[in-house]
Structure 1
Amino acid sequence: MLYGNESISHYTKSNIAIWMLMAFQAGLLNIGGFMACHRFVSHVTGFATFFGYELSQKEQAHHAVGMLVVPLFFLFGAMLSGQLVDIRLKLHKKPKYYITFGLIFLLCAFVAFGGLLGFFGVFGEPLESSRDYTLLILLCLICGIQNGTITTVSRSVIRTTHLTGITTDLGIGLIRLLNRHKLDEPMGNEFDAILMRTGIIFHFGLGSVLGAFVFSAFGHGGFLIPVVTSGVLFWTMFYFQVWKSKTA
């Protein structure tokens, strides 16, 4: 599944488990970023909105610069995953999933332990100091790497860090399913895609709900859950791509 030049785009049980875990992880990161810094981190739309708002507030115009800079790291994360996965797939080389997932794991660990050691200040403090923007940058970088990787390996079918595209695709898929008797074209994997999209929305929501309780109770310690989930994903990729390929 995860070795050779293959993409993890097929509706196999193992691939679906990976997608759902990544959606769950994204929900946790998003609610964690919001509760820590009062900004969502898994999609860029909110930063564009806050940029416009902050720019209109003369006494807070300096925050507009931050709202412009932070999402650039989401872009950088997507570019990084593109270099490690997308370009290598197009060149028929072995995609380095284990490196992108390893980066996510290390960044999540840095966020969690850095927060517990006080590097990012008090959990939930107003977004004012450079340490708050540093936390936002790291979380956006994580989400950019994750979204870029899963977008590439799913052939642009799946997004796990935000739900707008998935919800749109789900709506279109449901209408296709309801009108399947009128359509001449085969449905193919449409039913599987509907279940997959529903699962991603559910698991993202589950991560957000669980995260709200955990972050309320443990502050920065809540980021230890993404450390565990990203660690599972990293060691899975490392096992299949590096360890098993060497012993095969």
Structure 2
Amino acid sequence: MLYGNESISHYTPGNISIWMSMAFQAGILNIGGFMAVHRFVSHVTGFATFFGYEINQTDKSHAFGMLAVPLFFLLGCMLSAQLVDIRLKLHKRPKYYITFGLIFFLLSIVLGLGVFGYFGKFGEPLELSRDYTLLILLCLVCGIQNGTITTVSKSVIRTTHLTGVTTDLGIGIIRFLNRRKLNSNFGNESEANLMRVGIIFFFGLGSVVGGYAFSQLGYAGFFIPVLTSGLLFFSMLYFQIFKYKPTAIILPSTLCVPQNIAFRSALKNRLKALNFLSKCLDRSKLIENKKLTKWIKE
């Protein structure tokens, strides 16, 4: 998991468990959205297709709804980029705990609204108001999740859909099979391929588990992704806030105690050597700090 200053972008057992858990969670969310309102929510491709279909129908309202929902997937990616990607670019600690906290919070809202009947009967035809609220919330969650993992894995891993992962896996397999011809080290490529296979497997496993849970429990089936996202959130919160240890700058004891005779003598000899070198090279003196020179001669 996230120990101290460790990033979740490394191929460690703890980080791999995070990625696989999120792929499992995405599989559940996708099948949950499909069984609830007959729409997939973990990618935007389907919404573009449905928009093309609905725009040619008599009632255009669904078409504009299908066009608006993917914008919340985009919004989720933007939130993730602000909290993770930009901070990494600025060499700051990414706020994983906030992105995972948002996912946990939004899924808790979905569970609460569904169980208490706001979305109506589970599996009924798509309605304009309440069901679009469900689609918006789930797409926002998937956008945050996909943006976070895509950033930290350097675009190697995407956990909410399988099209890009499958494409990358196909390319990676051919690169691995031709590694001798290419005369390259494909250790990282092998690890990435294993991760892609794992993502596909756990996404499928989440779909199977979610399909059974939602068929038996209805909206209460969202308790499973709430549980997984909650565990991830509290883990991130613990390791990034409560267990975080800032990197300390440790100075040698000789630097901490300027009166140390051995240190003063060594520094004096070093300065003499530098001055001698500057004269040999016909350059100006290298030591310009008069206070330091005066202190050494004392």
Does the TM-score normalized on the shorter chain lie above 0.5?
yes
Is 2:113–2:119's contact at 8 Å kept on the other side of the alignment? yes
SS of the aligned residue for 2:73 comes to helix
Is 1:80–1:145's contact at 8 Å kept on the other side of the alignment? yes
Q: Output aligned runs, 1:120-131, within 5 Å.
A: 120-131=119-130
Which one scores higher on RCO, CA 8 angstroms, separation ≥ 6? 1
Aligned length: 247
Q: Output aligned runs, 1:3-22, within 5 Å.
A: 7-22=7-22
SS of the aligned residue for 1:42 comes to coil
Cα offset, 1:170, TM superposition: 0.6
Residue 67 (str. 1) matches residue 66 (str. 2)? yes
Aligned to 1:88: 87
Is 1:4–1:94's contact at 8 Å kept on the other side of the alignment? no
Aligned to 1:198: 197
Cα offset, 1:167, TM superposition: 0.4
> Larger radius of gyration, structure 1 or 2?
2
SS of the aligned residue for 2:179 comes to coil
Q: Output aligned runs, 1:138-177, within 5 Å.
A: 138-177=137-176
Is 2:110–2:222's contact at 8 Å kept on the other side of the alignment? yes
CA distance in 2, matches of 1:160, 1:202: 11
Tell me: CA distance 1:29–1:69, structure 2 relative to 1, closer, same or farther (3 Å).
Answer: same
SS of the aligned residue for 1:71 comes to helix
Cα offset, 1:55, TM superposition: 0.4
Cα offset, 1:208, TM superposition: 0.3
Give the letter aligned to residue 99 of structure 2. Answer: T
Aligned to 1:235: 234
CA distance in 1, matches of 2:106, 2:245: 27
Cα offset, 1:154, TM superposition: 1.2
Task: Name the TM-score, length of structure 2 as normaliser.
Answer: 0.80
CA distance in 2, matches of 1:109, 1:96: 20
Cα offset, 1:181, TM superposition: 2.2
Aligned to 2:105: 106
Give the letter aligned to residue 221 of structure 1. Answer: A
CA distance in 1, matches of 2:231, 2:53: 39
Task: Name the TM-score, length of structure 1 as normaliser.
Answer: 0.96
Residue 54 (str. 1) matches residue 54 (str. 2)? yes
Is 1:5–1:95's contact at 8 Å kept on the other side of the alignment? no
Report percent identity of matched pairs: 74
Is 2:2–2:14's contact at 8 Å kept on the other side of the alignment? no
CA distance in 2, matches of 1:32, 1:216: 9
* Consecutive aligned runs of 4 or more in structure 1 exceeding 3 Å deviation: 1-7
CA distance in 2, matches of 1:120, 1:126: 11
Aligned to 1:36: 36
